[in-house]
């Protein structure tokens, strides 16, 4: 099953991918709210039955994929926790030892943006990409072992942990370069864990050129281990999001370093899940535009 959060004229709605090119709206305002309802699978089945059979091109109420306007997949995520330095092949090629513990930092729900949104950045000149697999939590866990953590995975999605390297490197803590509002695209869909084999190839492209490609089989801390580790100190709940780190090929690591320019198109793709395509706009650092506040971004059409 693939689930999305779509913007509509009435706000956002969770939606189920049906057939090859449509989304059936579900009676939840977002995938996060859906996941918090323990009977969401039954509700999805009932909604499908009420509207026709999956695969029917005539399924009533379906939004055509070409008309879908993707909101951040989890607009109200309570926790967005990210792992750095997690691709073994990249760490080893850099001559470093594999880490004993995952390097973790946080984003906010406000940091997230939609799968095809234009990303406006104010006040940074070193905007870099980090294509990542993201794990969506489906049930409450606290001090869970890896088996419990695995069972708590609702599914997987695509993210790009776009990083303002100038801000990230101003101090020892990366937080400020990782939490510019509405700069981390997440989506377009969640693929449920039961339909994913757990092996993913994560790829990033700038203006169509492949810059990153990594296989999640080389993650030092795989999804279940990462969730178990995090849950030792903080509870995870339905709709929380964990970003699993990025493979080699970021702009900062190039010689000379390469950063995103105004108008660049950043594409992030995981075969079997989906693709993010975001145009970067570099803004003068003028007064805030109220229409671009995170709340407006979460609910309004671009």
Phi, psi of 131, deg, nearest 5: -65, 135
For residue 82, CA distances in Å to 66, 103, 130, 227 come to 31, 8, 11, 11
CB nearer to a copy of itself: pick between 34 and 230 = 230
Which one among 66, 233, 291, 301 touches a copy of itself, defined by CB under 8 A? 233
In the numeric block, which tokens belong to residue 250?
């970021």
Options 52, 61, 272, 294; binder of a copy of itself; rule CB under 8 A? 294
**Does residue 232 bind a copy of itself (CB under 8 A)?**
yes
Separation of CA 252 from chain center: 21
Residue ranges in 166-195 that form contacts with a copy of itself under rule CB under 8 A: 167, 170-176, 179-181
3-class secondary-structure state, position 183: coil
In terms of Cβ atoms closer than 10 Å to its own Cβ (0-12, 13-18, 19+), residue 151 is middle
Nearer to a copy of itself, 95 or 287 (CB): 287
Least Å distance, CB 1 to a copy of itself, is: 28
Residue 205 binding a copy of itself, by CB under 8 A? no
Pick between residue 53 and residue 285 the one whose CB is nearest to a copy of itself: 285
Pinpoint the alpha helices (H) of the chain: 31-35, 40-51, 88-93, 146-151, 165-168, 175-178, 223-231, 294-299
Cβ(251)–Cβ(259) below 8 Å: yes
287 touches a copy of itself by CB under 8 A? yes
In the list 106, 151, 196, 252, the residue contacting a copy of itself (rule: CB under 8 A) is: 106
Site for a copy of itself in 137-156 (CB under 8 A): 140, 142-144
Is the torsion defined by CA of 119, 122, 127, 131 positive or negative? negative
Residue ranges binding a copy of itself (CB under 8 A): 78-79, 81, 84, 99-106, 108-111, 122-123, 140, 142-144, 164, 167, 170-176, 179-181, 230, 232-235, 285, 287-288, 293-294
């Amino acid at each position: 099953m693939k689930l999305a959060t779509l913007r509509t004229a009435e706000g956002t709605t969770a939606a189920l991918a049906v057939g090859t090119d449509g989304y059936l709206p579900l009676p939840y305002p977002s995938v996060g709210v859906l996941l918090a309802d323990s009977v969401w699978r039954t509700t999805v089945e009932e909604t499908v039955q009420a509207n026709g059979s999956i695969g029917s091109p005539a399924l009533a109420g379906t939004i055509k994929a070409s008309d879908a306007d993707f909101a951040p997949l989890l607009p109200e995520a309570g926790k967005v926790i990210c792992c750095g330095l997690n691709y073994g092949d990249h760490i080893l090629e850099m001559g470093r030892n594999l880490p004993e513990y995952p390097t973790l930092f946080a984003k906010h729900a406000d940091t997230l943006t939609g799968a095809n949104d234009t990303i406006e950045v104010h006040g940074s000149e070193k905007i870099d990409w980090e294509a990542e697999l993201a794990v969506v939590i489906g049930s409450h866990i606290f001090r869970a072992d890896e088996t419990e953590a695995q069972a708590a995975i609702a599914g997987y999605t695509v993210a790009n942990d776009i990083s303002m390297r100038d801000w990230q490197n101003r101090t020892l803590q990366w937080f400020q370069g990782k939490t510019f509002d509405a700069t981390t695209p997440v989506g377009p869909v969640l693929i449920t864990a039961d339909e994913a084999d757990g092996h993913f190839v994560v790829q990033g492209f700038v203006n169509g050129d492949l810059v990153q490609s990594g296989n999640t089989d080389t993650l030092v801390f795989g999804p279940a281990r990462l969730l178990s580790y995090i849950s030792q100190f903080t509870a995870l709940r339905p709709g929380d999001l964990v970003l699993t780190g990025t493979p080699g090929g970021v702009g900062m690591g190039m010689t000379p370093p390469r950063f995103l320019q105004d108008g660049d198109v950043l594409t992030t793709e995981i075969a079997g899940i989906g693709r993010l395509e975001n145009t970067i706009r570099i803004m003068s650092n003028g007064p805030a535009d109220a229409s671009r506040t995170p709340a407006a971004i979460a609910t309004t059409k671009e």
